[in-house]
Amino acid sequence: MPFPNNFLWGAALAANQCEGAWNEGGKGESIADHLTSGSRTKPRRFVQDLNLGDYFPSHTGVDFYHRFEEDIALFGQIGLKSLRLSIAWSRIFPNGDDAQPNEEGLRFYERVFTTCQENNITPIVTLSHFEMPYHLITEYNGFANKKVIDMFVRYAETCFTRYKGLVKYWLTFNEINFGTLSAGRLFCLGLRDAAQENYFFTSGDETEQYQALHNVFLASAKAVISGHQIDPQNQIGCMIANGLAYPLTPKPEDVLATQQRADWFNNFCGDVQVRGSYPSFAKRRFERRGIKLNVTAAEEADLLNGKVDFYSFSYYSSSCVAKTSGNEGQGNLIAGQNNPYLETSDWGWQTDPSGLRLTLNRLYQRYQVPLMVVENGLGAIDTLENGAVNDPYRIDYLRAHVEAMHQAIDEDGVDLIGYTMWTAMDVISAGTGEMAKRYGLIYVDRDDQGEGSLTRIPKASSIWYHDVIASNGDSA
């Protein structure tokens, strides 16, 4: 069986990594505006005071805010059928708790989605991609405060209402399962005590963290309920970072440790959002650790009524787990051990296309809902030579993953409805804040100091992808 005829071939972006214009158009400050640049060896820092002279790459991004018409026209020329992008919450509600939405922000995305429509591109819109209005952290302690649930729902309803007819596919929270890690305390949950320099690894009160994650689940579920009421055509999905891990050895204790990690990192959030209730292993874990969450019967009903329509996820690499684990191989936040059978990127991410097929099978067997791969790609150093970028390594990476998806559909019967590779064009890396780590189909002339003409140059991979889409996967 080939890819389905209406398969959503596409590419992805995220507002804080591409838009720039951080304080234009009435936008408020978001968490992402407080992150400095970084590199492979120097972690990004969280800075409260923006006048400290650091370079904040999110402030200028790759200027999508001013160039989106030209950019989306280029995506159209590549033949993208879908574009995953996010709305910056702080463009719509600059402080999060404002009485009225910011009309200029609403109009901006209206123009973006209309431009997609003019280029025959279906938008897939994430409501919160690693950012929320900064004011919600300082004033409310983020999602630890139940008032923030209503603020998110109002933001979501404002978007569903305004973009009815323009947007059908929605994702609520990007990589929500980072909320189970210390790394996600700030940018998934907005916890105030996480707003300090080493923001990735701030540990803190577990009860507060899981209460905040529960509140995020609720915000998502209530948005799903409203989204369906506002437009029954809406299809609303969850978004989970896939952390596929293999046992490092066949030792039963390593196999068990791998399963436990999969349950906690991969299955917990997916189960809540697809099945509408907490899995037994999570309830038991909370009891054993003395974590008592404030969950009412009405909230349980909301989780059940706010089940998502489809499951979307990011997939880049896999790793290995042992009962006594070191932390060698890694994605941007997920640590594990290196697999001797896989190749490793310059940033230490291991390439594993078969793992994508395995993941698709596991997810479909577990949930029996349509699946979407909404991030998958290779971060690499690209070089511009004689005005062109030749990136055969990216083509190899993408081809192998397209083949894995095809096998999952054709041989295994998985219901996969879309693929938005990461990224449509070069953007700022979320993990390191670099420009040097490029994933795009289109090269953007900008460096780590923020210098460059911002000229867009389609890479060889964009020509390859054009043919893949035109042949519905046959030419991969």
Identify which of residues 36 and 174 has a Cβ nearer to ligand BGP in the complex: 174
**How many residues make contact with ligand BGP (CB under 6 A)?**
15
Residue 206 is a catalytic residue: no
| Stretch 13-32: interaction string toward ligand BGP, x if CB under 6 A | -x--x---------------
Identify which of residues 241 and 369 has a Cβ nearer to ligand BGP in the complex: 241
Q: Is 430 in the site for ligand BGP (CB under 6 A)?
A: yes
Per DSSP, 26 falls in state: T
Amino acid residing at 14: A
State whether residue 25 is helix, strand or coil: coil
Q: Is 337 in the site for ligand BGP (CB under 6 A)?
A: no
Identify which of residues 198 and 471 has a Cβ nearer to ligand BGP in the complex: 198
User: Which of 131, 208, 299, 375 is an active site residue?
Assistant: 375
Instruction: Choose the binding region for ligand BGP from 57-65, 277-285, 286-294, 424-432 (rule: CB under 6 A).
Output: 424-432
Identify which of residues 151 and 241 has a Cβ nearer to ligand BGP in the complex: 241
Largest separation between any pair of C-alpha atoms in the chain: 64
Q: Which of residues 190-249 bind ligand BGP (CB under 6 A)?
A: 241
Whole-angstrom distance, CA of residue 266 vs CA of residue 149: 23
Q: Is 397 in the site for ligand BGP (CB under 6 A)?
A: no
Instruction: Choose the binding region for ligand BGP from 392-400, 426-434, 458-466, 468-476 (rule: CB under 6 A).
Output: 426-434
Q: Is 431 in the site for ligand BGP (CB under 6 A)?
A: yes
Shortest distance, CB of residue 287 to ligand BGP, whole angstroms?
A: 31
Identify which of residues 235 and 312 has a Cβ nearer to ligand BGP in the complex: 312
Three-state secondary structure string covering 176-238? HHHHHCCCHHHHCCCCHHHCCCCHHHCCCCHHHHHHHHHHHHHHHHHHHHHHHHHCCCCEEEE
Instruction: Choose the binding region for ligand BGP from 112-120, 188-196, 361-369, 427-435 (rule: CB under 6 A).
Output: 427-435
Q: Is 44 in the site for ligand BGP (CB under 6 A)?
A: no
Task: Indicate the burial class of 451 (C-beta count within 10 angstroms; 0-12, 13-18, 19 or more).
Answer: exposed
Q: What is the secondary structure of 364-385 as a DSSP string?
A: HHHH-S-EEEEE----B---EE
Shortest distance, CB of residue 240 to ligand BGP, whole angstroms?
A: 11
Angle, CA of 59, 64 and 66, to the nearest 5°: 95
Shortest distance, CB of residue 422 to ligand BGP, whole angstroms?
A: 6
Identify which of residues 175 and 302 has a Cβ nearer to ligand BGP in the complex: 175
Q: Which two tokens stand for residue 97?
A: 């708790």
**141, HSE (Cβ side, Cα atoms, 13 Å):** 11
Strands 169-173 and 235-241: parallel
Q: Which of residues 300-319 bind ligand BGP (CB under 6 A)?
A: 314
Residue 283 neighbours by CB distance under 10 Å? 12
Per DSSP, 145 falls in state: S
Identify which of residues 238 and 303 has a Cβ nearer to ligand BGP in the complex: 238
Q: Is 172 in the site for ligand BGP (CB under 6 A)?
A: no
Instruction: Choose the binding region for ligand BGP from 161-169, 188-196, 208-216, 428-436 (rule: CB under 6 A).
Output: 428-436
| C-alpha distance across the termini of the chain, in Å | 15
Shortest distance, CB of residue 305 to ligand BGP, whole angstroms?
A: 27
Whole-angstrom distance, CA of residue 451 vs CA of residue 259: 46
Contact with ligand BGP (CB under 6 A): which of 37, 211, 266, 429?
A: 429
Is the four-CA dihedral 342, 179, 12, 273 of positive or negative sign? positive
Beta bridge partners of 413: none
Whole-angstrom distance, CA of residue 103 vs CA of residue 106: 5
- CB contact at 8 A, 232 and 164: no
Beta bridge partners of 236: 170
Identify which of residues 183 and 476 has a Cβ nearer to ligand BGP in the complex: 183
Whole-angstrom distance, CA of residue 314 vs CA of residue 296: 31
Q: Is 332 in the site for ligand BGP (CB under 6 A)?
A: yes
Nearest residue to ligand BGP, scored by beta-carbon proximity: 431
User: Which of 175, 208, 299, 434 is an active site residue?
Assistant: 175
Residue 70 is a catalytic residue: no
Q: Which of residues 84-113 bind ligand BGP (CB under 6 A)?
A: none
Shortest distance, CB of residue 375 to ligand BGP, whole angstroms?
A: 6
* Active site members: 175, 375
List residues near ligand BGP by CB under 6 A.
14, 17, 174-175, 241, 314, 332, 375, 379, 422, 429-432, 437
